[in-house]
Each structure stands twice: as structure tokens, then as C-alpha cells.
A and B are shown apart, each in its own frame.
Chain A
């Protein structure tokens, strides 16, 4: 009985229809299920079918392809032109929803859902390096400690789930006002580190909101007076080496920041404290490193002034960050709570580095559409360095109905002066169906730029740089396979074997007979290699 299938195969019978087995296996399980269903209803399904499927690792239970969801999803995408509810990222997704949930005092989700979310997220947070406080401990902590604990949780949110984490944290802290005020810095840090994307107001595409995209915070010109340059008028009138910038500058008026030409600033803004202290011509900071030279402005996040909640109020304008999108040359206000961009203003790029930046951006966009399904890419030039550019890429996938989410972030710094390409790739995945798994990877890249890459030959150099990036990312993605293999084989076994060396489960009766444990430890060498 055991061998005839393969023996027939050797004789050349490639297709063998075992219809008897199919019919009777169906009959068997249907009979079993129907009988139990009659007395136990749907519980019979869970016990007899679903649990067993799970136990034996049956593909049908967890793999999307069997349910047809992927197929229908692709159909929908084709029909609707690229937007589908299960694959979309953006307003409807959890990340944007928490703003509403924060404003609603009692969440509308059912208590069961909330319970699941709490259990799920607390387990997820168990893996945090610091032990989270229990509810009773949380009440005993003072407001400051509670906010710090809440902030730590938020910073560890898996991709697209900060909404859920925030809801769970609200339940533990039970003090919405303190919470709202205190977590804003954490929210901001989280957004910037995670390369949150924003719909550029007035345009149809998204850009990355990160530290590299930030415009230094500036108060309204009349309120704060800079020690170096009292007001912007003399600066505006200052003749720029280019000559044509004066016209643009004059048109800006007293209020806004970003309209200034970088060339003008390079002359006037060399001393850093001028840039920060409410200087009207303060320009976009492209690099974190550059910002470190600048003394921290007075209106840092921890300012005592009450920070606005969900509803944006005009008076808080100065406390909200501004960022810019080089591609559309627009700067905008970004609210880290509602994740909305508003108040767009045109920005003039730095002329000298713009051609190379644009070439880099064009190549980068080609690379993005070649390898990422839902990605956003932004290329920034650097304020005081014409030969330094930052390329940032983020690709997200959220699938809450199937309990998973993932985010790929890459960042590369092109330094033409030092002939270097440096960067990092960070991948985060969260899968949480009836359990909780998180993957977090970090990979650093560092390579020399070949001599053919020069600022003179922008288009050719840009595509070569992206080719280098593509090669590195592909290589890394392949190596992840190996990492998984090794973790699954060696590391897992090193933690806990699938079965003891005896290749059988433990004989508990014998175990109770005598104290094996001590003997085993003493005779470890006797068992041979582990």
C-alpha cells in the first residue's frame, strides 16, 4: 500500500487520481463536524477544524492566496486605478485615525476589540528593553513618569499602529489632558525617525517628513528680534552675488521664512545663531549634522506653553514644525498629531546644487517605481555644502485585516567631495495574528564613489549612484533569506530543541520515578554532542 504510488510513477504514470482518498477524507470530516455541530454549534468548528488546522500548520488557515483576497484585491486595484481598501496607505489607515480617537472621549470600538488590542500590544511591548509599568504602578507614578513611560511605548510602535498603541496607553494612563500635552515630543520624534509621509498641499504627491526636511522653527518676525540683524529689510536689499535673487526676496514680505534664496543667506547667515533666532531668512536645514552647530532655539518641544491638541489653533503656529518638499519646492506646516500638512509656501532651491539634486531625484524615482509597490522618495540638498545630498526612501504596507504591517526605510548620503556613499536600511515587520512577532533589521552601507561620478556629469552620475544603491539593496534583501534560515535552524534549536535527543517525548512516569535531572547535568558529556 505504501509503495505502489511511487512504483507506478517510475513506470511512467505521471498523473494518478486518488479520488477515493479525496471523497472519503471529505466524508469523514464532514460527518465528524456535522455531528459535533448539532450539539455544540460553531464551537465545534473552532475545536474540530480551526484549532487543528493551526496545530498542524495547515497552509489554508493563514496563507492569503487561498482565500482569494490578494486576487480580488488586484482586481479592485485594476478597476479603481490603484486604490483599494486593503492595500491603501494614507488617511484611512490606522496612523491617521488616532487623531480622531484622541478627540473622542469614549472610543466607539467595542470592549472586546479593545481588550484584544491591549493584550496584543502589551505582549508586543513586553519585548521592549524596559519593563512596562502595570496599571497599578502607573497610577502610583507621578504625571512626569507616566508621560515618559507613554512616550517610550509610542516610540516603539510597529509600523502603522501608533493609533492602537496610543489607545492602549490612554487606558493605562487615564488622564487624557496630561497625555496629550506630554507625548507630543515623542510623536514628533517617532514621525521623523519613521520617515512619515505627507500629502504636499496643493500637489498630488507625497513627500517624506524627516529631520532632513525640517525648516528651523522661527517665530513671527515682529515678536522676536535677532541680535545680529534686527529685521529683514536690510538683508532683503542686500545685493546677492547672483543678482536675480533680490526680486524674489522683496516679494516675500514680513511674515514668512522660506521664500529666501539660499545664496543670499550664505553670505548673511554664516554665523549660526543668526539663522536660528527668528531670522526671517532662515533656510531649510538639510542635515542633522548641520543643525547640531546651531544653538537650540528657545521654542523647543518641552516649552511650557500649552501645546495644541487635535484642533489646530492659529496662535500655536509658531510651535508647529515646518518642512519642505524639494520636488515641488513647497514648504508646509506639519501637525504631528493629525499628520496633516497645511499652509504651503513656495521655496526657492539652492541654485548651484539644484541640477545635481534634480538628476538624483529623477533617477531615484525611477528606482522607486521599479522595486517598491507603495513607496515615497525624497532627495534633499544640504544648506552649506553643494556636494552633499540625502536620499530618503520609505515603503509601507499595512494589512490590519490580516494582522500584519511592514515598513522599509533607506537613507543614503552622497558626498561628492569625500567621494563616499553612506547609508542605512531599516526594515520593520509586525505580524500579530493570535500571537505577536516583530522583525527589526538594521544594515549600514558605506562605499567609495567611482571616479566617473562627478557633479559636472549630473544625469550620468545620478543613474550610476542609484545603480549602486539598487545593487546593495538587492544584495541585502537576498542575505535576509540567509539570516532567516540561520535563525530558524541554528538559533532556534540552540534555544529549545524540537524534541529531546531521544527523539521522543518525555516519559513522565519514568521521570517521577527518580531524579534524572541532577544525573543528566552531571553526565552531560555522556550524551555526546548536543
Chain B
């Protein structure tokens, strides 16, 4: 991402200054400002904190592309509090076709959560950590009334994508790792279970005669 290092979408300046750093055309820049404000609201509603950035750039064939970045971190106040971080990277392309626009969206969510046993607050090493990444992509067409419709359309696509991925991560992925742990070690005594089954078989054998 060319402008990612040190460029701020809020001030449109590079930090440290970059002579030939690409900046969007004035028309796109206007859209970029509005997009940042809109996603700022989105961020506040869903993340109640965190940081968001939107970068847009022009494409050779007339359309434009952009990236929406969202980041939230939970820093544990003490060793017993949970901590974690969520990072969203949404990259999209928009192509205008008359009164419609065609969008492609590719998203990656990176999630990390650390849980520390409350019983041993002094022990730094005591913890469970889950880290996950998940991709998704979609291609959709939406009506285009004015330039700001782009933001509405992309905003809705990203919102739906994040909801879907969050649900998947929470339900499928976390549940699955837990299942594997219980697959590795059995709480019940396997030998006892085996002996019981054999006893059952014997008894059934007796009954059949």
C-alpha cells in the first residue's frame, strides 16, 4: 500500500514528507474525506473506540479503489483482565457503469485474544491465547445516484462482511479449537469405557443363548 506508511487520510499529508507520494485527485479526495467521516461513525457504533482510516486512489481505467482499515485493541489493565486486538483490512474496487456501480471487496480480519487465569495473577505465563484470521470476498452491483452513494454502498458491503465474519469466527472457529482440545485428551477414563463395552458385549452374548 503506497500511501500507508505515514500518510494520514485526515490531513492528506505524508509524515515524514514524501516528495512524489501519490495523492488522490481533488474529486476523489473529497470523497475520501467523507468516507473517513462516515467510517468514523461506523467505528464508534461498533467498536466504541479504536481507530479507522480510509484511503482512496484512482485507477487507470477510470474507476477507483480504496482500503478501509479498522483497529481496536484491548489492553489488560491488570494481569487478570482479558486482552486482545481486532484488525480489519477491507480492500475494494469501484467501477461506475452509468447509474450503477460494480464493486469488488476483499476483506481480512485478524483477531487475537488472550485470557489469563484469574487464580494465578502473578504468573505471566499462565494464559490461553487464540489468534485468528479470516478472509472473505464478494462482488456486487449497486445503484449510484451521486458520488456519496459509493460510500453508502461500500459501507453496507463492509458492514455485512464484518458481521458475517465475526459470527463465523465466534461460532465456528472458536468452537472448533475447543473441540480439538477435548479430542486430544479425554476427561473420562478410556480404559474404563472399553472394559464396560466389553462387559456389555459379554452380557449380550449370554442373553442371546
Contacts and interface: CB of A to CB of B under 8 A. Distances in A.
Interface stretch (A247-255, A285-293, A506-514): A506-514
B203 interface: no
A209 interface: no
Given A494-B82, A495-B85, A370 B45 contact: no
Contacts of A67: none
A54 interface: yes
Interface residues of B, number: 72
Given A372-B184, A372-B186, A408-B184, A440 B129 contact: yes
Interface string B133-158: 11100000000000010011001100
Contacts of A439: 128-130, 177, 180-181
A484 B178 CA distance: 8
B113 interface: yes
Interface in B22-81: 34, 37-38, 40-48, 72, 74
Contacts of B159: 505-506
A88 to B, nearest CB: 15
Contacts of B111: 495
A480 B192 CA distance: 24
Interface of A: 54-55, 57, 62, 119, 123-124, 126-127, 366, 369-373, 395-397, 404-408, 424, 427, 429, 431, 434-444, 473-474, 477-481, 483-484, 486-488, 490-492, 494-502, 505-506, 508-509, 511-512, 515-518, 520-521, 530
8 contacts: A127-B131, A127-B133, A406-B184, A438-B132, A477-B181, A499-B163, A517-B37, A520-B44
B177 A495 contact: no
B151 A508 contact: yes
Contacts of B191: 366, 369-370
A512 B47 contact: no
Interface string B117-137: 100100101111111111100
Interface stretch (B13-21, B92-100, B167-175): B167-175
B152 A512 contact: yes
A488 B128 CA distance: 13
B74 A495 contact: yes
A517 B74 contact: no
A55 B120 CA distance: 39
Contact of A512 (B83, B148, B178, B189): B148
Contact of A395 (B37, B167, B185): B185
A127 B130 CA distance: 10
A498 B162 CA distance: 9
A442 B174 contact: no
Contacts of A518: 40
Contacts of A495: 47, 72, 74, 84-86, 111, 113
Nearest to B164: A55
Given A371-B190, A509-B152, 15 more contacts: A57-B167, A123-B135, A405-B180, A408-B181, A429-B177, A437-B132, A437-B169, A474-B187, A481-B178, A483-B117, A487-B115, A487-B130, A497-B47, A501-B45, A508-B155
A496 B85 CA distance: 10
Given A477-B181, A494-B82, A508-B156, A57 B130 contact: no
A370 B130 contact: no
B40, B115, B129 pick with most chain A CB within 10 angstroms: B115
A436 B41 contact: no
B187 A438 contact: no
Nearest to A481: B178
B206 interface: no
Contacts of B72: 495-496
Contacts of A438: 130-132, 177
Contacts of B130: 437-439, 487
Contacts of A494: 74, 82, 84
B34 A512 contact: yes
B190 A496 contact: no
B201 interface: no
Given A437-B132, A498-B163, A478 B187 contact: yes
Contact of B128 (A57, A473, A480): A480
A481 B187 CA distance: 12
A423 B171 CA distance: 33
Nearest to A410: B185
Contacts of A397: 180, 183-184
A437 B148 contact: no
B146 to A, nearest CB: 10
B136 to A, nearest CB: 9
Contacts of B108: 123
